[in-house]
Amino acid sequence: MTNQLDHCLTDEQLRQLADAAAQFDLDGVEQHLDVCPDCCSRMGAIEQDAEWCEEILPVLRDAETIQELHASGAGHDLDAQAALRLLGPTDEPQYLGRIGTYEVTGVVGSGGMGIVYKTFDRSLDRFVAIKMMHPHLATSAAARQRFAREAKAAAAVIDDHVLPIYSVDQWQNVPYLVMQYSGGTTLEKRVATQGPLDVPEVLRIAMQTAHGLAAAHAQGLVHRDVKPSNILIDGTVERALLTDFGLARAVDDGSMTRTGMIAGTPQYMSPEQAHGDQLDHRSDLFSLGSVMYFMLTGRSPFRAETTMGVLNRIGHDAPRSLRSINPQVPVWLEDIVLRLLEKNRDQRYQSAQEVAELFGKWLA
């Protein structure tokens, strides 16, 4: 049972909801929006969508149920089962079902926005990955816009270290992306399985990720959600691939300048992102530094028991010394990571290309 909020939502919280990236407890939000015309009006101004409340309330109702199921360990199963029910019939017994003309061979994983399938494209005789939006999110205009933004942003970036998107379509009114299939794993899972990585591997993955970021930045895009689970390690050639441009925005996008907007994963966001300030490409470099810290230690640099605690640490605290956790880290590498993690973005490296070239020299 939930309790109605006894206060109005802040503009920051409303913007997180509009971007389908809320990082706060949803309990009570539904009841409050039902009875608070002021919050609905302010949200409508943010979204420029007078029907926002009608669209978001069903999502919040479902999200509260999802939270309860996740607490009992059943949330992933619920989403997977709902997505599997969307599959069309197939004539081939070795497949789970069909999405459009694609034969589904298995489920790769599930994230905040959607579930990823491994599928077979008969027309081109190859395997591809399909990312389908979670059915319970498909009713939200904000979520659909974010999903479409991921496709447009990633499609604009052509680089060996950015996972390409081939096409966008929908099945039974649920949108999906068709992407390159990578038989590898995420960086997050790699470190969870193997522990901290050795220095050459850290440099190689960081260099390749920086190349992917440089390509995105050259298109005027800020990724805004660089984290270990958004970096794929291709199993065939040990190549890092940057994924999930769902939060990416053009630098000249007016929404990037909204004071108080917070979107992204707290543990890896930059101080300016945590504070809701205007972002530029250097925010991604801070996140890359946090990812490197994770690769070298097995933990994120700014940890706390609550989201607000994490955000406060990002803005004010220095991370624990890398070498105190992992004595195998060279002093010069710790210095590089600490420069990437400078609170003042003017004190960081100023471009992803510069960082990629630096790592390339150390690997030579």
Please, which residues have CB within 8 angstroms of residue 148's CB and are 6 or more apart in sequence?
168, 175
C-alpha 166 chain-centroid distance: 19
Please, which residues have CB within 8 angstroms of residue 128's CB and are 6 or more apart in sequence?
102, 119, 120, 121, 166, 178, 179, 180, 181
Look up tokens 């979204």; give the residue: 47
Provide the 3-class DSSP secondary structure of residue 284.
Answer: helix
| Residues 355 and 288: beta-carbon distance below 8 Å | yes
Provide the 3-class DSSP secondary structure of residue 55.
Answer: helix
Helices (H), 101-257: 141-155, 187-194, 199-218
Backbone angles phi, psi at 132, to 5 degrees: -105, 135
| Rounded-to-integer distance, Cα 243 and Cα 245, Å | 6
Active site residues: 225
